[in-house]
Amino acid sequence: MRCGDFRQTYVQDMAIFESAFGRRVYLLFLASLAFVPAFASGFWMDVANRVLIAIIAATGLNILTGFTGQISLGNAAFLAVGAYATGYLAGPMGLPFLVVIPAAGVLTALVGMVFGVPSLRLKGLYLAVATLAAHFVIEFVVTHWESVTGGVNGMSVPAASLGGLSFKGDRTLYYLVLPLTVAMLLFAKNLFRTKVGKAFVAIRDQDISAEVMGVHVFKYKLLSFGVSSFYVGVAGALLAYQARTISPESFPITLAIDFLGMIIIGGMGSILGSIFGAIFITLLPELLRLAVTPLASHFPELTTLFASLKMGVFGLAIVLFLVFEPDGMAARWHSIKAYWKLYPFSY
Amino acid sequence: MEFFLQLVLSGLVVGSIYALVGLGFVIIYKSSSILNFAQGEFLMLGAYVCVAIFNATKVPFLAAFLLTLVFSALLGVTLERVLLRPMIGEPVISVIMLTLGLASVLKAVVQGIWGTDTQPYPEIFPTTPVRIGPLPVSQGYLYSVGSVLVLLALFSVFFKYSRAGIAMRATAFSQQVALSMGISVKRIFALSWSIAAVVSAVGGVLLGGVRGGVDGAFALFGLKVIPVVILGGLDSVAGAIVGGVIMGVLENLAGGYLDPLLGGGVKEVAPFVALVAILAVRPYGLFGKIKIERV
């Protein structure tokens, strides 16, 4: 009897799914996701789209921070770049989404690579500080470049469309967001089975050893910034298509902290972790609202306190996870799976 | 010319508060290599607690102020003991996220108790302005700059001559050496967090007195101080002071002269543009130790 998770061949080690049964379960789960709009209310469709978009952005950030070890506090600004690029390309230029979404991603990737250049000389704390500066600089540009961004008033974004096809409303947009999320997750998962992904991980674990082993550190760091920002840019594009109006206030520094919270709580350096973290952080305020609403009739002050309650629970979740489960929900998931695999003889 | 002097003067006042908060940053960074993103929340909390004690107990303002300092010191020790100690040896990103999470909790607590409206401050400084040369200067400004100078002098003496101060410098120099000399490094960490909380609370109360009230925007000082400490050098007390004054003046001048050209908001972004330039040219700052690992 197998008494553990042993991999005997490279093929087993590289496999995305551990067993054919696991793959079938995943496929079945994905297929069932396609039927969500048939049952869910408008509110939950909005939440579902936001969760999926957050998954794309968190995966992007995890590629940079979790897998390559480069801390970035600038991802809210990169999200803004993707969203504004979408607003401009889809609005005044009137391009279809098939062009707009990749273009927004590529543009954000370029901006991200520009701000990734400091990683040539800086690491750790100093890189975090440099990306923080990037956030404020981009925010300033977005607020003041009025001819393109509409300044503080923001801009409105037309619905995603291609020819006669138009994704208006959350229920139809879901069918654009879901396949895109799945595709991007698969790409990320596969990225870390390739030379490029392994180079990222090598840089995270020990940059000097990586250099000695022949990894061009600067090139791969910049590439990591590019790939990560591409993901965040695509998330920004979808966010713009979903929200339909964007303004500088949509992308505060706290949003960047939210994304970092997602990968910390979900698990750094794990694709599954980005999914868990994005779901957790996006659902947290919604579930909190559901819990508070029935109490509000007895304690009317709860509704006024809700904003601070949300903030406090978010901070507390991050702090508690860091103190008690630093490897995040993905690690907990794996240990639960291992427990059941060996049940009742686990030790 | 008068416009210029006015800008420099208000820059000096804000800069002196930056210097205080920066001092807290540097003390924590020196002893434990943690960049504390919750420093601005310490400042905000101190300002709120002081005015709350004053309103609730009707004691003289000075007594309320001293009680606030005691509260801040206890807060610093508690946070270090409960949250920061499990983080020793964890990666940088975890520690950064911990202080960010802490900041979020503290902000929530303040908002939950006092709401989002501005809490008015009692008039703690005389209101009649004093004339320095051609400029009328409000006395609050003078008091705040003066008390900052006194505090900084006190801290310099503390680090140079007192037993605890010398132990802190030894810990900053090398934790292993400090341990072998019989210094309790854990106690030094707790001490540095309480000092950081206390100096930030002083900054918060001074700022509340100068502005006549306290609100949630005080927490932004924590982010604004990051360019200050990078400019001064993350591990230099003198650097925090010089950096604070320079940044305060710089942002006021940039705001005063460039705002009409660029359409507002320059004051907020100027320190961060300067930050990028500093990181590119001299990442260890003006007075920092040159030991930054290059990649």
Percent of chain A scoring above 90 in pLDDT: 35
- Supply angle C-alpha A92, A97, A101, rounded to 5: 95
Site from A319, A320, A321, A324 to mutate, B interface, most B CB atoms within 10 angstroms: A319
In the three-class reduction of DSSP (H, G, I as helix; E, B as strand; rest coil), residue A166 is classed as strand
The label of the residue with tokens 């000092």 reads B195
Pick the more confident residue, A232 or A159. Answer: A232
Residue in A128, A261, A309 closest to B108 by CB: A309
Domain membership flag for residue A49:
yes
Question: How far from A260 is each of A6, A66, A188, A247, A318, CA to CA, in Å?
Answer: 32, 10, 18, 22, 10
A57, A75 contact by CB (below 8 A): yes
Interchain CB distance below 8 Å, B107 and A257: no
Q: Which residue is closest to A323 within chain B, CA to CA?
A: B86
Res. B15 pLDDT band, cuts 50 70 90: confident
Least confident window among A43-52, A249-258, B104-113, B252-261? B252-261
Q: How far apart are CA A322 and CA B224, in angstroms?
A: 26
Contacting A residues, span 213-232, partner chain B, CB-CB under 8 Å: 217-218, 221
A156: enclosing H helix or E strand: strand A155-156
pLDDT in tens, A87-131: 999 888 888 888 899 999 999 999 999 888 877 777 778 888 888
A311, A320, A325, best to mutate vs chain B, most B CBs in 10 Å: A311
- What was the pLDDT predicted at A94? 80
Domain that holds residue A84: 10-252
Statement: residue B292 has pLDDT above 70: no
| Farthest-apart Cα atoms in chain B, separation | 59
Average pLDDT over residues B78-106: 86
Q: How far, CA to CA in Å, does B222 sit from each of B18, B23, B24?
A: 9, 12, 10
pLDDT band, very low/low/confident/very high, at A347 (cuts 50, 70, 90): low
Element (H, E) at A14: helix A10-14
Q: Indicate the SS3 state at residue A267.
A: coil
Does A326 contact chain B (CB < 8 Å)?
A: yes
Classify residue A318: in a domain, yes or no.
Answer: no
What per-residue confidence (pLDDT) applies to A1?
A: 55
pLDDT at residue B109 is higher than 80:
yes
- What's the pLDDT tens digit per position in B41-61? 999 999 999 988 888 888 888
- Say what angle helices A253-266 and A271-296 make with each other, to 10 degrees: 110
- As separate numbers, helices (DSSP H) first and strands (DSSP E) second, chain A gives 16, 4
Confirm if B270 and B255 have CB atoms less than 8 A apart. yes
A302 part of a folded domain: no
**Residue B281: predicted pLDDT:** 79
Residue-range domain boundaries for chain B = 2-126+139-281
Q: Do B93 and A268 touch (CB under 8 A)?
A: yes
Closest CA to A276 of A180, A178, A174, A185: A185
| Helix ranges restricted to H, A244-327 | 253-266, 271-296, 301-324
Residue A159 located in a structural domain:
yes
Distance of CA A280 to the CA centre of its chain: 12
DSSP letters spanning A88-143: HHHTTS---HHHHHHHHHHHHHHHHHHHHGGGGT--THHHHHHHHHHHHHHHHHHH
Average pLDDT over residues A52-75: 92
Which residue is listed with tokens 């979808």?
A238
Question: For position B174, what pLDDT does the model report?
Answer: 79
Domain count, chain A: 1
3-state secondary structure chain B: CHHHHHHHHHHHHHHHHHHHHHHHHHHHHHHHCCCCCCHHHHHHHHHHHHHHHHHHHCCCHHHHHHHHHHHHHHHHHHHHHHHHHHHCCCCHHHHHHHHHHHHHHHHHHHHHHHCCCCEECCCCCCCCCEEECCEEECHHHHHHHHHHHHHHHHHHHHHHHCHHHHHHHHHHHCHHHHHHCCCCHHHHHHHHHHHHHHHHHHHHHHHHHHHCEECHHHHHHHHHHHHHHHHHCCCCHHHHHHHHHHHHHHHHHHHHHHHHHHCCCHHHHHHHHHHHHHHHHCCCCCCCCCCCCCC
pLDDT bin (cut points 50, 70, 90) of residue B293 is: low
Residue A4: pLDDT band with limits 50, 70, 90: low
The ipTM, to two decimals, is 0.84
Compute chain B's Rg from CA coordinates: 19
Supply the pLDDT for residue B57: 85
pLDDT at B122: 81
Residue A4: inside a domain: no
Name the CATH code of domain B2-126+139-281 (choices 3.40.50, 3.30.70, 1.10.3470, 2.60.40).
1.10.3470
| Number of Cβ within a 10 Å radius of residue B280 | 13
Q: Tell me the pLDDT of chain A averaged across its residues.
A: 87
Q: What average pLDDT does this structure show over A176-193?
A: 91
Tell me the C-alpha distance between B213 and B236, whole Å: 31
pLDDT of residue A299: 74
CB proximity list for A282: less than 8 A, separation 6 or greater: A47, A50, A51, A54
For residue A344, cis peptide bond before it (omega within 30 degrees of 0)? yes
- pLDDT tens-place string over residues A209-230: 998 999 998 899 999 999 999 9
Looking at per-residue pLDDT, the higher value among B295 and A342 belongs to A342
Per-residue confidence (pLDDT) for residue A12, from 0 to 100: 77
Segment A264-274, tens digit of pLDDT: 999 888 899 99
- Chain A interface disruption, residue of B105, B230, B231, B292, most A CBs within 10 A: B105
Cβ distance of B295 and A207 shorter than 8 Å = yes
